[in-house]
Amino acid sequence: MNSEIEKSKDVDQRISMVTGEPKKAIRVLAIPMIISMFLIMAYNLADSIWVAGLGPNALAALGFINPLFMIVIGLGNGLGAGATSLIARCIGAGNKEGADNAAMHSLILTLIISTVFTVILLLFLPTILLMMGAGVTINLAIEYGQIVFGGLILFIFSNVASGILRAEGDVNRPMYAIAATAILNIFLDPIFIYYLGWGVSGAAWATLISSSIACGLLGYWLLLKRDTYVSFSRKDFKASWDVVKNILMVAFPASVESLVMSILGVILNLILVITGGAEAVAVYTAGWRVVMMAMIPPIGIGTAAITVGGAAYGARNYKNLSIALSYSAKLGVGIAVITGLISYIFAENIATIFTYSPESAFMAPAIASFLQVMFLFYLTVPLGITASSIFQAMGKGFTSLILTLVREVVFVAFFAYLFAFTLGFGSSGVWWGIVVGGGLGCAVAYVWATIYIRRLKKNY
């Protein structure tokens, strides 16, 4: 009996936090999310570091798989964001039944979408890689990709389950699941890649096996332990196209956003292949892993803003919604200044992490130069991430998608082409295209979100 009372108190505290003071809620929610994302990047980085020892072709093979893998992660993130947004809005409106039904629909959509995309990727992977210009690295890329994409449901389920927990303010348990995954992956990588001699397929198997740990833990907490705000049972489920539509109105655009960024990754890889060959792709692949680590704090803060903003929007508390936007952006920029300076100052030291073997040592200066250029990119990223997150929180997923299209297609792709070819910068032109195009796109997104919320407050 006491145990049940304690569980009820924990749930009530989490809900009160999500619906309470937005600045505090964002800080409380963001910290475990940031830690979780650092852990995810740590084991992704471990893949790159260990695979780098196999030579530039192996590292470039991961670079060609990365855009496709981002689609997989984007599917999970999209469904997770859709679940978080709708459940948080239901919580803000005091609709427990709606939150339960949204959670059930999210898991059903996970099964359906995972099955469809697993079949598509496994059947057409060689063709897709050839279109991407994989060239001499294609066999290594196929070897890695077929294993990873065979376990696609693991990645999608983990993201959706985490999204359901985040919606009710429970961010610690997803962090624990990811910690177990990261530690196991980092431990298995050198064993599978070198000790067993499996090469790039060893990195893929390490990722797949470790990811199953997170799924097991999250599944246990949601479906068996049953100590969450949302509940899962047949009586809670009422099939509804409106619920599906509400989830997909955020999930589909969010997933397409990842697809857009993956397509941009393909375009940038093609430009790099033309201007510098596989070595240029390897430099970008290694350097971008570091950039993604620097972007983790603003992404974590933005993810927290989906929960807090969703609850505020569901309660029609537009003042809190406005605070969530501005505070998230300021917090993200402040952290970005620190991480950017660290990356700039220690660029040469960081580059040696990816160039420890004789086969890859020649890439060190180029990776260091890439990291120093990216310092400017860090400063504007929080504006775009926060704006997109707030629109997702309100269920305006297509607005977020439009902002991403403007940033990635109109700005980044255009400036990358301009600098690389028209102005003759070569491979480094891609780097400057990301900085200039990304900065302009993020600024536009933040201004758009600010004006939108201001109108909501005025008309309410």
What pLDDT does 7 receive? 56
- One-letter identity of residue 236: D
Query: How far is the C-alpha of 340 from the C-alpha of 342, rounded, in Å?
Result: 5
Q: What are the φ and ψ backbone dihedral angles of 212, each rounded to 5 degrees?
A: -65, -25
CA-closest candidate to residue 440, choices 369, 371, 344, 376: 376
Instruction: Please report whether residue 247 resides in a domain.
Output: no
CB contact at 8 A, 416 and 429: yes
Instruction: Please report whether residue 126 resides in a domain.
Output: yes
Q: Which of 239, 268, 300 is the last residue of a domain?
A: 239
Query: How far is the C-alpha of 201 from the C-alpha of 209, rounded, in Å?
Result: 12
Instruction: Please report whether residue 393 resides in a domain.
Output: yes
Q: Are residues 328 and 415 in the same domain?
A: yes
220: left (phi over 0), alpha (psi -120 to 50) or beta: alpha
pLDDT digits (tens, 9 = 90+) for 311-320: 888 888 889 9
| 3-state secondary structure string across the chain | CHHHHHHHHHHHHHHHHHHCCHHHHHHHHHHHHHHHHHHHHHHHHHHHHHHHCCCHHHHHHHHHHHHHHHHHHHHHHHHHHHHHHHHHHHHHCCCHHHHHHHHHHHHHHHHHHHHHHHHHHHHHHHHHHHHHCCHHHHHHHHHHHHHHHHCHHHHHHHHHHHHHHHHCCCCHHHHHHHHHHHHHHHHHHHHHHHHCCCCHHHHHHHHHHHHHHHHHHHHHHHHHHCCCCCCCCHHHCCCCHHHHHHHHHHHHHHHHHHHHHHHHHHHHHHHHHHHHHHHHHHHHHHHHHHHHHHCHHHHHHHHHHHHHHHHHHHCCCHHHHHHHHHHHHHHHHHHHHHHHHHHHHCHHHHHHHCCCCCCCHHHHHHHHHHHHHCHHHHHHHHHHHHHHHHHHHCCCHHHHHHHHHHHHHHHHHHHHHHHHHHCCCCHHHHHHHHHHHHHHHHHHHHHHHHHHHHHHHHHC
CB contact at 8 A, 350 and 341: no
Q: Which of 239, 264, 289 is the last residue of a domain?
A: 239
CB contact at 8 A, 111 and 87: no
Q: Is the pLDDT of residue 155 over 80?
A: yes
CB contact at 8 A, 19 and 311: yes
Determine the length of the chain.
460
Q: Are residues 269 and 384 in the same domain?
A: yes
CA-closest candidate to residue 271, choices 62, 66, 425: 425
Q: Is the pLDDT of residue 331 over 90?
A: yes
Query: Residue 255, exposed/middle/buried by CB under 10 A (0-12, 13-18, 19+)?
Result: buried
Query: How far is the C-alpha of 293 from the C-alpha of 290, rounded, in Å?
Result: 5
Q: Which of 208, 239, 270 is the last residue of a domain?
A: 239
418-430 burial by CB neighbour count: b if 16+ within 10 A, else e? Answer: bbbeeeebbbbbb
Query: What is the domain extent for residue 9?
Result: 1-239
Query: How far is the C-alpha of 82 from the C-alpha of 86, rounded, in Å?
Result: 6
Q: Is the pLDDT of residue 133 over 80?
A: no
Q: Is the pLDDT of residue 81 over 80?
A: yes
Query: Residue 379, exposed/middle/buried by CB under 10 A (0-12, 13-18, 19+)?
Result: middle
What pLDDT does 443 receive? 93
What pLDDT does 39 receive? 80
Q: Are residues 225 and 279 in the same domain?
A: no
Average pLDDT over the chain reads: 85
**Across 144-148, 163-167, 180-184, 237-241, least confident range:** 237-241
Mean predicted confidence (pLDDT) in 250-264: 78
Mean predicted confidence (pLDDT) in 398-415: 88
Instruction: Please report whether residue 417 resides in a domain.
Output: yes
Q: Are residues 76 and 162 in the same domain?
A: yes
What pLDDT does 332 receive? 93
What pLDDT does 2 receive? 47
326-348 burial by CB neighbour count: b if 16+ within 10 A, else e? Answer: bbbbebbbebbeebbeebbeebe
Query: Terminus-to-terminus CA distance in the chain, angstroms?
Result: 44
Q: Are residues 208 and 280 in the same domain?
A: no
Q: Are residues 364 and 416 in the same domain?
A: yes
What pLDDT does 450 receive? 93
Q: Is the pLDDT of residue 408 over 50?
A: yes
Highest mean pLDDT pick, 37-41, 105-109, 253-257: 105-109
Q: Are residues 338 and 231 in the same domain?
A: no
What pLDDT does 356 receive? 65
Q: Is the pLDDT of residue 384 over 80?
A: yes
What pLDDT does 360 receive? 66
Q: Are residues 93 and 204 in the same domain?
A: yes
Q: What is the token pair recorded at 345?
A: 């100052």
The residue among 361 and 443 whose pLDDT is bigger is 443
Percent of the chain residues topping a pLDDT of 70: 95
- One-letter identity of residue 264: L
Q: Are residues 401 and 262 in the same domain?
A: yes
Count of structural domains, the chain: 2
**Across 40-44, 295-299, 363-367, 376-380, least confident range:** 40-44
Q: Are residues 233 and 281 in the same domain?
A: no
Instruction: Please report whether residue 248 resides in a domain.
Output: no
Query: How far is the C-alpha of 142 from the C-alpha of 127, rounded, in Å?
Result: 10
**Across 53-62, 170-179, 208-217, least confident range:** 53-62
What pLDDT does 357 receive? 65
Q: Are residues 219 and 294 in the same domain?
A: no
What pLDDT does 400 receive? 87
Q: Are residues 7 and 134 in the same domain?
A: yes
Instruction: Please report whether residue 115 resides in a domain.
Output: yes
Instruction: Please report whether residue 190 resides in a domain.
Output: yes
What pLDDT does 202 receive? 86
Q: Spell out the residues 6+ positions from residue 89 whose beta carbon is closer than 8 angstroms to its own.
A: 310, 311, 313, 314, 393, 395
Instruction: Please report whether residue 84 resides in a domain.
Output: yes
What pLDDT does 358 receive? 66
Residue 359 confidence class, pLDDT cut points 50, 70, 90: low
What pLDDT does 74 receive? 78
Query: How far is the C-alpha of 393 from the C-alpha of 100, rounded, in Å?
Result: 18
CB contact at 8 A, 25 and 304: yes
